[in-house]
Each structure stands twice: as structure tokens, then as C-alpha cells.
């Protein structure tokens, strides 16, 4: 069961849940102010589903609902789970890069065939 704690008690890699169901993970501490840096771990509406979420800062006295490891199970299969979103985006970018590379390779091969055809002697052009 989740419990309320002050943000100053959170350690790196601990997870906390917002009232809308989004889950954040603690990434670090700003030593000068004591603020905790957190990154979105699983997005629920109205939080935006992004593959590279920005850091947010938590004031040391802010109350958050810390969650236990077993409570995260359902988030791994949620559409907003950041690792899955990141993997999908990287796969999409990889596919786009591969398609662009394949198109360039085909164009280069066609140009090479054309140059080869043009450089053949006239009698080979006639014969085939």
C-alpha cells in the first residue's frame, strides 16, 4: 500500500505516484536546495506520453505518495510506461533511418547500372 511521505525522505530510484495515477522515479537531489529531481516513469492522463520526459523538481516539504515495487506491476503494461514508449520511438526512428538508407542504396545502384550501361562499347549495346 502506498504511503504519504515528504519529498526530502525520497532516495534515488524510489517511485512515487501522483493523484492522477502517473508514477515518477527519483533521479537525484539538488544539494543546494534539497529539492528532488524526478522523471516520469509511467504517464496517465493528463500527463503527456513522451519518450524522453523532462526532469521535474520536488520541494523538500512536498507530500508525495511513495509506492512499493509490487504496486508497479500494472504500469509495465500501460501505454504510458516510459521504457516501452522509448523503445517504440527508437524502433520507429530506426525504421525511418533504414528506409532512407535503403532508398539511397537503391538510387546509387541504379546510377551505377546506368553508368555501366553507358560505358559499354557500341557493339555490346546493340547485342544486348
Band of pLDDT at residue 3, cut at 50, 70 and 90: confident
Residue 91 has pLDDT above 80, yes or no: yes
Cβ(27)–Cβ(37) below 8 Å: yes
Domain spanning 3-81, CATH class: mainly beta
pLDDT-based confidence at residue 128 (cuts at 50, 70, 90): low
pLDDT at 1 over 60: no
25-34, 78-87, 92-101, 114-123: segment of lowest average pLDDT: 114-123
Distance CA 37, CA 74 (A): 24
pLDDT for residue 37 is more than 90: yes
Amino acid at each position: 500500500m502506498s504511503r504519504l511521505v515528504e519529498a526530502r525522505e525520497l532516495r534515488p530510484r524510489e517511485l512515487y505516484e501522483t493523484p492522477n495515477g502517473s508514477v515518477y522515479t527519483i533521479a537525484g537531489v539538488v544539494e543546494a536546495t534539497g529539492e528532488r529531481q524526478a522523471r516520469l516513469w509511467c504517464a496517465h492522463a493528463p500527463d503527456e506520453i513522451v519518450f524522453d520526459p523532462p526532469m521535474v523538481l520536488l520541494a523538500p516539504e512536498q507530500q508525495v505518495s511513495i509506492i512499493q515495487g509490487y504496486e508497479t506491476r500494472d504500469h509495465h503494461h500501460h501505454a504510458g510506461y516510459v521504457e516501452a514508449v522509448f523503445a517504440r520511438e527508437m524502433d520507429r526512428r530506426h525504421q525511418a533511418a533504414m528506409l532512407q538508407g535503403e532508398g539511397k542504396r537503391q538510387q546509387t545502384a541504379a546510377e551505377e547500372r546506368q553508368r555501366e550501361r553507358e560505358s559499354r562499347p557500341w557493339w555490346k549495346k546493340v547485342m544486348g
